[in-house]
Amino acid sequence: MPGNVNPHAIVETERRIRPYVRHTPVVEVAGADFGLGCGKIHLKLELVQHSGSFKARGAFANLLMRDVPVAGVVAASGGNHGAAVAYPAHKLKVRAKIFVPEVSSPAKIARIRNYGAGLGAIAQAQRALWEVVRIVAEPGGAAAFSALLSGRYQPRSGERVGVLVSGGNTVAVNFDRHA
């Protein structure tokens, strides 16, 4: 996937995902309807996109423009992102596992399940990260970092602990490189 966002990259990405996404309608409304005085507003109705949001576009782009491992893809989401990953994974015959909070909407969970993705609880994923590689991810990241700073948690001799706070905005980290 290109590292730079530019007009050419956007056009190329749109060309690649075009066969897989819906052409969603645009509705023109008066700005006055929204208290904006004169002028027109154009609303792109991405709610009719596959999976119910614009996020399917990004998920298709990621799956089509990257080498996807045989193990498949994983996402953690309260619903829209999870459904957006599950749908293209289903269409492209890629395995997917979506981790959702225990308070997720039953309708969103059903949508993810109907796309054929495996389901797990976010708390389950957090426990696995901690037990296997000693990484704490949101929402527990801030509390774990505080415990480390205050000394309430003492890593064992030779134990390395990684804490991802705002993990959705991070790039993959190679912890071995930072030993």
| Strands (E) located in 10-151 | 26-30, 40-44, 73-76, 96-100, 118-121, 135-137
Residues 140-160 have pLDDT tens digits of 455 566 666 677 777 777 766
pLDDT digits (tens, 9 = 90+) for 86-126: 999 999 999 999 988 877 888 989 999 999 999 988 777 66
Instruction: Collect all residues with Cβ–Cβ distance below 8 Å to 172 and sequence separation of at least 6.
Output: none
- Picking from 19, 27, 62, 61, the residue whose alpha carbon sits closest to that of residue 46 is 27
pLDDT number for residue 4: 73
Tens digits of per-residue pLDDT, 4-13? 778 888 888 9
Q: Where are the beta strands (DSSP E) in the chain?
A: 26-30, 40-44, 73-76, 96-100, 118-121, 135-137, 162-164
Contact residues for 123 (Cβ-Cβ < 8 A; gap 6+)? 101, 102
The CATH fold of domain 7-123: Rossmann fold (3.40.50)
> E-assigned strands of 52-177?
73-76, 96-100, 118-121, 135-137, 162-164
CA distances from 132 to 68, 74, 127, 142 (A): 23, 17, 8, 19
| For residue 2, cis peptide bond before it (omega within 30 degrees of 0) | no
Digit-coded pLDDT (tens) for 40-89? 888 888 889 998 888 899 899 999 998 998 999 988 887 788 999 999 99
Q: Residue 43, Cβ neighbours under 10 Å: how many?
A: 11
Q: Output the pLDDT for position 105.
A: 86
pLDDT band, residue 161 (cuts 50/70/90): low
CATH 3.40.50.1100 domain extents, the chain: 7-123
* pTM for this predicted structure: 0.66
User: Which has more pLDDT, 2 or 132?
Assistant: 132
Contact 89, 118 (CB under 8 A): no
Supply 100's token pair: 């959702």
133 sits in the region (left: phi over 0; alpha: psi -120 to 50; else beta) called alpha
Beta bridge partners of 162: 135
pLDDT at position 90 = 97
pLDDT at 89: 96
